């Protein structure tokens, strides 16, 4: 079944309080009927019939557009798929949270050099680089292991239209810009309404620097428009053209788009005079407002500026394969009714953030309100100095997929920002197949990996390396305790630090939590008093379900107190949980996170076929899981 985009479903808006306490504890209430937002024994706020809607899977793929000019960014949504097995765990009967959506954006290998052509997530996005006809294949596997598939065709055409050229030795007065022999000289002359319009390219010459002293604003333009670069054979250069702004304490951006559509900004460099966002403040690079649609920022380099406009506002906008470094403040998506929907951040690299200045060290990536975001294949690190979480989902945000990123440093958080704001509720989000690495370079940057004050969240297939705390799930004094959280098939490794090593920290008030098929490996011989798999803060009852987990530390006593002061044997006897869990050497191929075999089980590993069945058809490496799930992030192949 194929269809063009439907309007996004709005979420439930409730008050949320942000607690700066990072790691709290979770308790869980299992079953088909869920408690109200307090998580306690109040009247049920929704119920579910597990048989309702189950049946043959009907895959529904919505696309933001079915064709256009290369490079073409397209956003996909499969949450409308019906017939999925519904275990009644998530609110809104969101059976898609329990399914695996495996995408192949170039199923016929139309572009052999294409990047990021596979993904997993109930929403996804891709940039089609070259002209051609692309068959996008989606395989859906539900919580019972049943599968169905669908294809959708995307037609990408080559650019055809007028091309304007800009060179540092050009002339704005005498030249018409329509040939490399008669180029414009300045961005201000080239990026104006009398030049821009449908089927127009504006190309800046490689190796040239264009200096401006105030922001360039582009308003109300509709494409297809390409703003990019060209190579001049007589003066060949592989270096990007650079737009350099000398503005100080004035403009927020170097180039900013207002209410524009279908524009590609690509292959250029943008820099300010220095890195800094306070006294003095230097501009960001390329940005746009929430009135924009189908904008693409592609392969830009933005550096030595006051911040990075990396969290795209608007609708169906994408930031892909861009490079950000030596920058401070983080660009973020602001709240807005009916806007900031269907956006993507793919394959970007952020490094050396806040290294030269500490005037504003907040975040690497920040989503402040948005629906249907795809955050995938990015690398955040090395040398990122932040004093809050590195990747944070805040505001009123829903249906966010965080897939296959490599993230170094501070906690990755899904939780409120403004304590008394009714516009703060994060829900129906998934973190899947991410490598999260503690840097150990700055104070507290390896304290915690993932922090949640949210509802309807899945944490699966992630490898968490060199942190004191793995997953913290907490209570919140306004929205109430976190609920409906699944943590499964993750691998948590402590490589060297002889200190606290705790996998899941739960606030006692939290409900509806599953912790299954996880591996906790201590290579450091940490203090057994601070080595805990499941800790319950503020209480001693776990209202949840935990099983098929493996724990190992070569220097441990035979049965340390891994469960909030209880040994595994005591925990099994008292709680009835983890009856299939064990303490055993996982026998991994490699514990070097730069190795291709990192955290993969060797033949004979006790991880193999030892897990319970989870709705997880792919592993960390994108390989299929068989019907007998392996424990940890990596399936044995």
Q: What is the mean pLDDT of residues 341-350?
A: 96
Query: Taking 70 as the threshold, does the pLDDT of residue 8 lie above it?
Result: no
State the average pLDDT over residues 541-552.
95
| 21, pLDDT greater than 80 | no
Provide mean pLDDT across the span 307-333: 90
Last residue of a domain, one of 123, 139, 157: 157
233 and 144: one domain?
no
Within 186-244, where are the H helices? 187-190
- Where a domain ends, among 157, 186, 220? 157
pLDDT more than 90, % of the chain: 73
pLDDT tens digit sequence for 496-536: 888 889 999 999 999 999 999 999 999 987 666 689 999 99
Assess whether 76 and 190 both reside in one domain: no
Q: Is pLDDT larger for residue 307 or for residue 295?
A: 295
Question: Distance between CA 295 and CA 299 in Å, rounded?
Answer: 13
Decide if pLDDT at 42 tops 80. no
pLDDT of residue 592: 94
With a cut of 80, say whether residue 486 has pLDDT above it. yes
In the prediction, which pLDDT does 43 show? 28
Indicate the number of domains in the chain: 2
Domain final residue pick, 344, 365, 391: 344
Which distant-in-sequence residues (6+ apart) come within 8 Å of 528 by Cβ? 556, 557, 560, 561
pLDDT of residue 420: 63
Structural domain range at position 58? 53-157
User: Using 50, 70 and 90 to split pLDDT, how confident is the model at 543?
Assistant: confident
Banded model confidence at residue 629, pLDDT cuts 50, 70, 90: very high
Instruction: Determine how β-strand 483-488 pairs with β-strand 519-522.
Output: unpaired
- Is 292 within 8 Å of 252 (Cβ atoms)? no
When the pLDDT of each residue in the chain is averaged and rounded to a whole number, the result is 88
Q: How many residues does the chain have?
A: 637
**Same domain as 184, residue 77:** no
Mean pLDDT of 3-8: 32
> Would you say residue 335 lies in a domain?
yes
Q: Are residues 150 and 178 in the same domain?
A: no
Let me know if residue 609 belongs to a domain: no
| Alpha carbons 368 and 307: distance in angstroms, whole number | 16
**pLDDT on residue 360:** 77
Q: Are residues 176 and 294 in the same domain?
A: yes
Domain membership of residue 133 (yes or no) is yes
Name, in order, each residue with C-beta under 8 angstroms of 367's C-beta and a sequence gap of 6 or more: 311, 332, 333, 373, 375, 392, 393, 394, 395, 397, 400
Give per-residue pLDDT as tens, 547-583.
999 999 988 878 899 999 999 999 999 999 999 999 9
pLDDT digits (tens, 9 = 90+) for 462-473: 999 999 999 999
* Residue 1 in this model has a pLDDT that exceeds 70: no
Q: Does the structure show a pLDDT above 80 at 38? A: no
- Mean pLDDT across 77-102: 95
Q: Determine the pLDDT at residue 425.
A: 86
Residues 172 and 66 in one domain: no
Q: Is the pLDDT of residue 16 over 80?
A: no
Q: How many CB atoms lie within 10 A of CB 213?
A: 12
457 falls within a domain: no
pTM of the model: 0.92
Whether 514 is covered by a domain: the verdict is no
Confirm if 256 and 331 have CB atoms less than 8 A apart. Answer: no
What whole-number distance in Å separates Cα of residue 300 and Cα of residue 319? 9
**pLDDT higher than threshold 60 for residue 161:** yes
Query: What is the pLDDT, as a whole number, of residue 27?
Result: 32
Average pLDDT rounded to a whole number, residues 584-606: 96
Q: Report the CATH number that the domain containing residue 110 is assigned in CATH.
A: 2.60.40.10
Q: Considering the domain boundaries, does residue 124 fall inside one?
A: yes
Closest CA to 450 of 410, 418, 488, 480: 410
Where residue 39 falls among pLDDT bands split at 50, 70, 90? very low
Q: For residues 256 and 93, give the distance between their C-alpha atoms in angstroms, rounded to a whole number.
A: 40
Residue 577 lies in a domain: no
How far from chain centre, in Å, is Cα 226?
27
Asked whether residue 189 falls in the same domain as residue 314, the answer is yes
Is the confidence at residue 20, as pLDDT, over 80?
Answer: no
- If asked whether residues 139 and 194 sit together in one domain, one would say no
The predicted pLDDT at position 479 comes to 73
Residue 529 buriedness (CB in 10 A; 0-12 / 13-18 / 19+): exposed
In a domain, 184, yes or no: yes
> For 403-413, what is the mean pLDDT?
93
Quote the pLDDT of residue 25: 30
pLDDT of residue 195: 98
CA atoms of 364 and 395, how far apart (whole Å): 16
**123-128 β-sheet, strand order:** 2-4, 61-63, 72-77, 123-128
In this prediction, residues 234-243 reach a mean pLDDT of 91
pLDDT of residue 558: 81
């Amino acid at each position: 079944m194929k269809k063009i985009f439907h309007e996004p479903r709005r979420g439930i808006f409730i008050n949320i309080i942000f607690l700066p306490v990072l790691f709290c504890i979770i308790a869980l209430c299992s079953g088909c009927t869920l408690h109200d937002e307090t998580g306690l024994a109040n009247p049920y706020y929704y119920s579910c019939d597990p048989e309702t809607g189950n049946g043959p899977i009907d895959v529904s793929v919505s696309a933001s557009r079915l064709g256009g000019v290369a490079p073409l960014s397209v956003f996909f949504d499969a949450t409308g798929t019906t017939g999925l097995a519904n275990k009644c765990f998530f609110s809104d009967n969101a059976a898609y949270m329990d399914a695996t959506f495996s995408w192949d954006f170039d199923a016929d290998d139309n572009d052999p050099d294409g990047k990021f052509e596979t993904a997993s997530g109930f929403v996804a996005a891709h940039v089609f680089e070259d002209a051609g006809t692309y068959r996008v294949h989606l395989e859906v596997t539900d919580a019972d292991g049943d599968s169905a598939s669908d294809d959708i065709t995307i037609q990408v055409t080559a650019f055809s239209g007028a091309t304007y050229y800009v060179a540092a030795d050009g002339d704005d007065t005498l030249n018409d810009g329509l040939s490399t022999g008669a180029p414009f000289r300045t961005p201000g002359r080239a990026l104006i309404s009398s030049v821009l319009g449908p089927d127009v390219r504006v190309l800046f010459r490689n190796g040239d620097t264009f200096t401006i002293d105030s922001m360039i604003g582009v308003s109300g333009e509709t494409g297809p428009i390409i703003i990019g670069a060209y190579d001049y054979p007589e003066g060949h250069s592989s270096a990007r053209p650079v737009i350099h702004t000398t503005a100080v304490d004035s403009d927020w951006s170097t180039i900013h788009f207002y209410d524009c559509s279908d524009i590609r900004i690509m292959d250029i460099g943008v820099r300010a005079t220095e890195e800094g966002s306070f006294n003095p403040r230097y501009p960001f690079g390329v940005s746009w407002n929430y009135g924009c649609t189908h904008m693409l920022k592609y392969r830009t380099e933005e550096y030595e500026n006051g911040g990075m406009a990396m969290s795209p506002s608007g609708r169906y906008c994408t930031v892909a394969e861009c490079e950000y470094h030596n920058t401070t403040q983080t660009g973020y998506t602001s709240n807005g009714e009916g806007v900031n929907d269907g956006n993507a951040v793919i394959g970007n690299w952020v490094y050396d953030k806040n290294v030269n200045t500490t005037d504003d060290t907040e975040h690497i990536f920040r989503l402040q309100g948005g629906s249907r975001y795809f955050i995938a294949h990015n690398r955040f690190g090395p040398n990122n100095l932040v004093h809050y979480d590195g990747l944070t989902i805040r505001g009123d945000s829903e249906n966010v997929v965080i897939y296959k990123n490599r993230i170094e440093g501070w906690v990755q958080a899904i939780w409120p920002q403004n304590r008394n704001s009714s516009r703060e509720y994060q829900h129906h989000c998934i973190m899947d197949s991410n490598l999260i690495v503690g840097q150990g370079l700055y104070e507290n940057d390896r304290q915690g990996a993932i922090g949640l004050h949210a509802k309807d969240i899945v944490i699966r297939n992630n490898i968490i390396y060199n942190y004191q705390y793995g997953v913290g799930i907490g209570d919140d004094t306004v929205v109430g305790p976190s609920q409906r959280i699944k943590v499964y098939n993750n691998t948590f490794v402590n490589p060297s630090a002889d200190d606290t090593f705790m996998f899941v920290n739960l606030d006692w008030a939290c409900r509806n939590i599953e912790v299954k098929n996880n591996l906790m490996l201590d290579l450091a011989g940490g203090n057994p008093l601070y080595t805990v798999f499941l800790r319950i803060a503020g209480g001693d009852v776990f209202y949840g379900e935990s099983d098929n987990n493996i724990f190992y530390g070569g220097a441990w006593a035979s049965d340390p107190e891994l469960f909030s002061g209880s040994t595994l044997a005591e925990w099994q006897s008292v709680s009835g949980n983890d009856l299939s869990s064990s303490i055993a050497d996982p026998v991994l191929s490699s514990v070097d996170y730069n190795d291709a075999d990192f955290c993969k089980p060797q033949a004979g590993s006790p991880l193999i076929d030892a897990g319970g069945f989870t709705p997880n058809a792919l592993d960390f490496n994108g390989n299929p899981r068989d019907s007998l799930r392996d424990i940890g992030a990596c399936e044995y192949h």
